[in-house]
């Protein structure tokens, strides 16, 4: 019997916290093509592009989980610099994308620009990066047009502000809905598997299994 080595991962990722709100922007790239995407570029465009240059990554798309300023504020700037398309979120968050500049003035984040995506995302859509395919699930509650983007082979999800280590997204913003958020997590995220690691919009990574075990809002023992 011979030992079989696991295949070398084809994707690399770096998490870059940006803006005073310390939002996790993810830079993901395919090792063979060196093409990459920014997930939720919230701000600090120069810092983000410097990171891409540092790793030799050509940015080919922006993927947005939802329309809040700290997640989408630099999306238009990335497009202006690279010519890449902006993909996502769901169309029900366009009202937020139209309000980024006004919200930036309110919160003291001056470099945010309003966003018009080249493509909205829907439940069941797929995205590609090199040879790798990512799934999309619509997870309203924090915002009505929030989506989660996940890579099943790599067991990695980008959940925006739906779920955090030990917490869940706020629902006291306009058009937030607490029960809808809980339903999105239980019905759309848990079926992806306990081993699924996730990058939240803020704070450290975790796994769905860990949150089902001890998250005070959505643990199995809490929800019954």
Residue range(s) defining the domain that contains residue 170: 11-223
**pTM tops 0.85:** yes
Distance in angstroms (rounded) separating the CA atoms of residues 67 and 78: 16
Q: How far apart are the first and last CA of the chain?
A: 45
34 phi, psi to nearest 5 deg: 60, 25
Q: Which residue shows structure tokens 């299994």?
A: 209
Only one residue has tokens 């913003």, namely 173
Can you tell me the distance from the alpha carbon of 79 to that of 45, in angstroms, rounded to the nearest whole number? 11
The per-residue pLDDT for range 32-63, each reduced to its tens digit, is 999 999 999 999 999 999 999 999 999 999 99
Q: Is position 1 within any domain?
A: no
The answer to the question of residue 6 being in a domain is no
Tens digits of residue pLDDT in 165-183: 999 999 999 999 999 999 9
Is 35 domain-assigned? yes
> Residue 5 domain-assigned?
no
**Contact indicator for 26, 15 with CB cutoff of 8 Å:** yes
Q: What would the two tokens of residue 78 be?
A: 């990335």
Which CATH number belongs to the domain containing residue 131 in this structure? 3.60.15.10
User: Whose CA is closest to 117, among 138, 142, 143, 89?
Assistant: 89
């Amino acid at each position: 019997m011979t030992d079989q080595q696991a295949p070398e991962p084809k994707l690399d990722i770096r998490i870059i916290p940006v803006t005073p709100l310390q939002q996790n922007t993810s830079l993901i790239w395919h090792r063979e093509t060196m093409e990459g995407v920014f997930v939720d570029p919230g701000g600090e465009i120069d810092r983000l592009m410097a990171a891409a240059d540092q790793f030799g990554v050509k940015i080919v798309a922006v993927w947005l989980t939802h329309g809040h300023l700290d997640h989408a504020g630099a999306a238009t700037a990335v497009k202006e610099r690279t010519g890449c398309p902006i993909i996502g979120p769901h169309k029900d968050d366009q009202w937020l994308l139209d309000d980024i500049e006004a919200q930036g003035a309110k919160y003291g984040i001056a470099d945010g620009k309003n966003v018009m995506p080249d493509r909205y995302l829907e439940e069941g859509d797929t995205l590609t990066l090199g040879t790798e395919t990512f799934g999309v699930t619509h997870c309203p509650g924090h915002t009505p047009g929030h989506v989660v983007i996940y890579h099943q082979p790599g067991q990695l999800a980008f959940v925006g502000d739906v779920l955090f280590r030990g917490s869940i997204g706020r629902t006291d913003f306009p058009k937030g809905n607490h029960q809808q958020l809980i339903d999105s997590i239980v019905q759309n995220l848990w079926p992806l598997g306990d081993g699924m690691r996730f990058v939240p919009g803020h704070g450290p990574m975790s796994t769905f299994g860990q949150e089902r075990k001890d998250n005070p809002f959505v643990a199995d023992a809490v929800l019954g």
